[in-house]
Amino acid sequence: MANLNIPDDLYAQLQELANAENSSVEAQAITVLQKGLQTKLQPTVDERYKNVPKLLEEIRLRREQLPKDVEWPDSTEMIREDRNR
């Protein structure tokens, strides 16, 4: 493992967090770094919204692929049956 030189006040905060979580400073540092890196790697809100039209198109295509000759049960009747049990 690499050694890191961090400011004393930051180390104190990390130590307090480790004590609160009943873990070592090293384990807490790893946890904090992993969470921080995962947050950076997640797509932004704008990137997620870019995928919406594609997802809607996929949903439409899947809906069109459903068999047309099947009689699907009425959801209202199914809920009533379930409540009457």
pLDDT digits (tens, 9 = 90+) for 32-74: 988 888 877 777 778 888 889 999 999 999 999 988 888 888 9
Nearest to 18 by CA among 27, 8, 9: 27
DSSP character at residue 72: P
What is residue 82's predicted lDDT score, i.e. its pLDDT?
94
pTM exceeds 0.85, yes or no? no
**Mean local confidence (pLDDT), 3-22:** 90
What is residue 83's predicted lDDT score, i.e. its pLDDT?
94
| Band of pLDDT at residue 1, cut at 50, 70 and 90 | low
Cα distances (angstroms) measured from residue 1 to each of 30, 37, 46, 61: 11, 17, 36, 50
Contact 21, 28 (CB under 8 A): yes
